[in-house]
Structure 1
Amino acid sequence: MKKDSKLGHRPYEDVQALLTGTLFVAFGVLMFGHTSLLTGGTAGIAFLIHYATGWNFGLVFFLINLPFYGLAWKRMGPTFTYKTFAAVGLLSLFVNLLPSLISFQALSAPLAAVLGGLLMGSGMLMLFRHRASLGGFNVLVLYLQDRFGWRAGRVQMGFDCFIVLCSFAVVSWQQVGLSVLGAVVMNQTLATNHRTGRYVTP
């Protein structure tokens, strides 16, 4: 079947995806932070530093991702790199902005793990579909999927679970267990819905 050139994403569609995807992820991050849960990837590392030192999560997340842009440029191209830089910047902004706009009177940690994981997985899926990511390990797992056909969600899950297990130093074992649950929910969302060759990517 001949590929329809009109299927390519238009610039305004990319902008919409970047804004919506990062907002979904930021809301999931807000739920995790409220219940002292963690996630994987560079966001998980930023959570560990935030919990241990009290440093601003958004700023730490932005700085941790800086070394990964070289790999993104070399392996994924300038367009992917620009979109990823924009997504990381938007997420850092939204994570700092949302607490002034919304608060939780009651939020159970198990619900935060599941719903937050679904939100973050869905948001990352939007970014992946538009050839963007949230930097860090997202760049690495997308490269591995493109290069070797390894499912991005499964590889990301391995990284994420390892990082979450390192969190015993800063949170309780119950929170670690729920964090692992959140990581599994998030990455299973990606593994189920983001496979090489299943969807047309511009």
Structure 2
Amino acid sequence: MDINPYHNVLEDVQALLSGTLLVALAIVLFRQAGLLTGGTPGLTFLAYYASGVPFGVLYFLINIPFYIFAFLALGRAFAFKTFCAVALLSLYSEWLPHWIRVESIDPVFAAILGGLLAGAGLLMLIRHQASLGGIGVLAMYLQQRHGWRAGSLQMIADAFIVCGALFIVDQERVVLSILGALVLNMVLAVNHRPGRYFGQ
């Protein structure tokens, strides 16, 4: 039986604040372990490792074209929530290192826990008709328009992005980044299917 709730404003605000915080915590773990992830955060990690420009700044700028696409393809409400989610993640990713410090973490554990946190955060955002921009916007659009599973689409895109890391970070970190991306997408693929839960 499909669940189709209508979320009120307070519920949406809670989801935006909590979902982006979970993803930001994942980014802290990935960054501490020298890993990256898929999607637009993965592209941002590549730019961050290559340039040293703050992650939050790069992430917000990379997403600018996708705000326009989200508005045109998925509507004003989705575009606004996505803009808020991206802005929150950009801020969280810069603030969290001042609030929490991870002195040491096993890279394998960082990949697994980071993937779980990011997947749970993304799932929360998707269920409240928001995304973290970029590839997530395209995946949501194709799911709504053609019924393709967002998790599967995200996994394919993530594979290309993580493989691109071979030109910037060492192979061991790439392998662990792939593990993190697989865990993240497993959470999405198992828990989010077309028609199962599509709140407003």
TM over 0.5: yes
How far, CA to CA, are the matches of 1:98 and 1:199 in structure 2? Answer: 31
Deviations 1:108-135, CA, capped at 9 Å, x for gaps: 1000100000000000000000000000
Report the aligned-residue RMSD: 1.3
- 2:101 matches 1:117: no
How far residue 200 of structure 1 moved from its aligned partner, in angstroms, is 4.4
1:38 counterpart SS class: coil
Q: How many residues align?
A: 199
Aligned to 1:159: 157
Aligned to 2:145: 147
Please list every run of at least 4 consecutive aligned residues from structure 1 whose deviation after the TM superposition is greater than 4 angstroms. none
Instruction: Decide which moves more: 84-93 or 166-175.
Output: 166-175
Structure 1: runs of 5+ lacking an equivalent:
none
How far residue 196 of structure 1 moved from its aligned partner, in angstroms, is 0.9
Aligned to 1:71: 69
Aligned to 1:197: 195
Aligned to 1:168: 166
1:176-191 alignment, distance < 5 Å? 176-191=174-189
> Taking structure 1 as reference, are residues 200 and 141 closer, same or farther at Cα in structure 2, changes over 3 Å only?
closer
How far, CA to CA, are the matches of 2:62 and 2:103 in structure 1? Answer: 31
How far residue 105 of structure 1 moved from its aligned partner, in angstroms, is 2.3
Counterpart pick for 2:43 among 38, 42, 45: 45
Counterpart pick for 1:61 among 56, 59, 62: 59
2:100 counterpart SS class: coil
1:201 counterpart SS class: coil
How far, CA to CA, are the matches of 1:105 and 1:80 in structure 2? Answer: 37
> Taking structure 1 as reference, are residues 80 and 99 closer, same or farther at Cα in structure 2, changes over 3 Å only?
same
How far, CA to CA, are the matches of 1:49 and 1:138 in structure 2? Answer: 18
How far, CA to CA, are the matches of 1:100 and 1:185 in structure 2? Answer: 27
How far, CA to CA, are the matches of 1:199 and 1:169 in structure 2? Answer: 39
In the superposition, the TM-score normalised over structure 2's length comes to 0.96
Structure 2: runs of 5+ lacking an equivalent:
none
How far, CA to CA, are the matches of 1:197 and 1:137 in structure 2? Answer: 20
How far residue 104 of structure 1 moved from its aligned partner, in angstroms, is 1.2
> Taking structure 1 as reference, are residues 100 and 19 closer, same or farther at Cα in structure 2, changes over 3 Å only?
same
Identity among equivalent positions (%) equals 52
How far, CA to CA, are the matches of 1:29 and 1:131 in structure 2? Answer: 22
What amino acid sits opposite 1:121 in the alignment? G
How far, CA to CA, are the matches of 1:103 and 1:201 in structure 2? Answer: 35
Q: Assess if the C-alpha contact under 8 Å between 2:128 and 2:198 holds in 1.
A: no
How far, CA to CA, are the matches of 2:98 and 2:67 in structure 1? Answer: 30
How far residue 42 of structure 1 moved from its aligned partner, in angstroms, is 1.3
What amino acid sits opposite 1:92 in the alignment? S
Q: Assess if the C-alpha contact under 8 Å between 2:12 and 2:128 holds in 1.
A: yes
